[in-house]
Structure 1
Amino acid sequence: MAESDTEPRQTPDEIQAEINREQRRLAETLDELSVQARPANIARRQVAKAKERGTRIFDEARALVLGGGAVRVESHLVRPEEGSIVIKGDDKVVTTYQSRGQLPPEALILVAGVGTVIAVGVVAWAVRRKRK
């Protein structure tokens, strides 16, 4: 057996330095997790997601009503980079849109009918409330 096989690969000081580095890295990771897990930060992310979804739904509805714009073709989740910290619900969604032509007349008639029903309902509700 060669003499180099029995010698330790790291000195005790090197081992201690490595332990200290790993402890600092773990402490930083725990700090990051505690920041992300704060209720205010969770609420902020959820509000941002709700706004994003609402904006997307609004844009699609506007495109449907106006008869132009684009429609969503497909959406999929994007995997986070390896080694990144992801809290449940922090996935990123990539959406593909496609330009489309005019709406068929049937769709426009349906939208006009729904709008009329809603308007009549609101007026009836307001008149009824005023009588009470």
Structure 2
Amino acid sequence: MAAGDTEPRRTPAEIEAEINREQRRLAETLDELVVSAKPANIARRQVDRVKETGGRLLDEARALVVGGGAVRVESHLVEPEEGSILLKGDDEVVTTYQSRGQLPPEAVILAVGVGAVVVVGVVALIARRRRK
């Protein structure tokens, strides 16, 4: 040992054991990356995300039409745990909702009117395409 060293020297067997541990850890990490980078897994995650987003939007639309429920106040990303591997698009979002009272009658009438116009437009478009 040198005069300034405070740690005892490691034996070649200890160094080899540490290298083996690190190789196993890296191999496990690579296996995890291979699994999460498969196109089928990426597609499944994206479909799940779209379903979740669509569900939230449907809940919000239902709350607007019915006049009850909750409305989204804010959403923000959650920071991943330290040392975790985060692939692009794997962000976790936390959304805060707030209860609200009844919609004013004018808003309900406007929503029904817009819905009726959309339905009439879609029916007219379908009828027009069938004639051709």
TM over 0.5: yes
Q: Secondary structure at the match of 2:17?
A: helix
- Counting only pairs closer than 5 Å after superposition, residues 100-111 of structure 1 correspond to structure 2 as 100-111=100-111
- Cα distance per residue 1:98-122 (max 9 Å; x no partner): 0000111221111111122122223
Aligned to 1:128: 128
Q: What letter corresponds to residue 48 of structure 2 in structure 1?
A: A
Deviation (angstroms), 1:8? 6.0
Aligned to 1:87: 87
Deviation (angstroms), 1:87? 0.7
Deviation (angstroms), 1:70? 0.4
Segments of 5+ residues of structure 2 without an aligned counterpart are: none
Segments of 5+ residues of structure 1 without an aligned counterpart are: none
- Aligned equivalents of 1:17 and 1:126: distance in 2? 71
- Cα distance per residue 1:63-106 (max 9 Å; x no partner): 00111100011111111111111111111111110000011122
Root mean square deviation of aligned Cα: 2.0
- Aligned equivalents of 2:72 and 2:48: distance in 1? 20
Identity %: 78
Aligned to 1:47: 47
Matched, 1:99 2:85: no
Taking structure 1 as the reference length, the TM-score comes to 0.89
Task: Identify if the C-alpha distance between structure 1 residues 131 and 23 changes in structure 2 by more than 3 Å, giving closer, same or farther.
Answer: closer
- Counting only pairs closer than 5 Å after superposition, residues 1-132 of structure 1 correspond to structure 2 as 9-132=9-132
- Aligned equivalents of 1:11 and 1:48: distance in 2? 51
Deviation >4 Å, runs of 4+: none
Task: Identify if the C-alpha distance between structure 1 residues 114 and 12 changes in structure 2 by more than 3 Å, giving closer, same or farther.
Answer: same
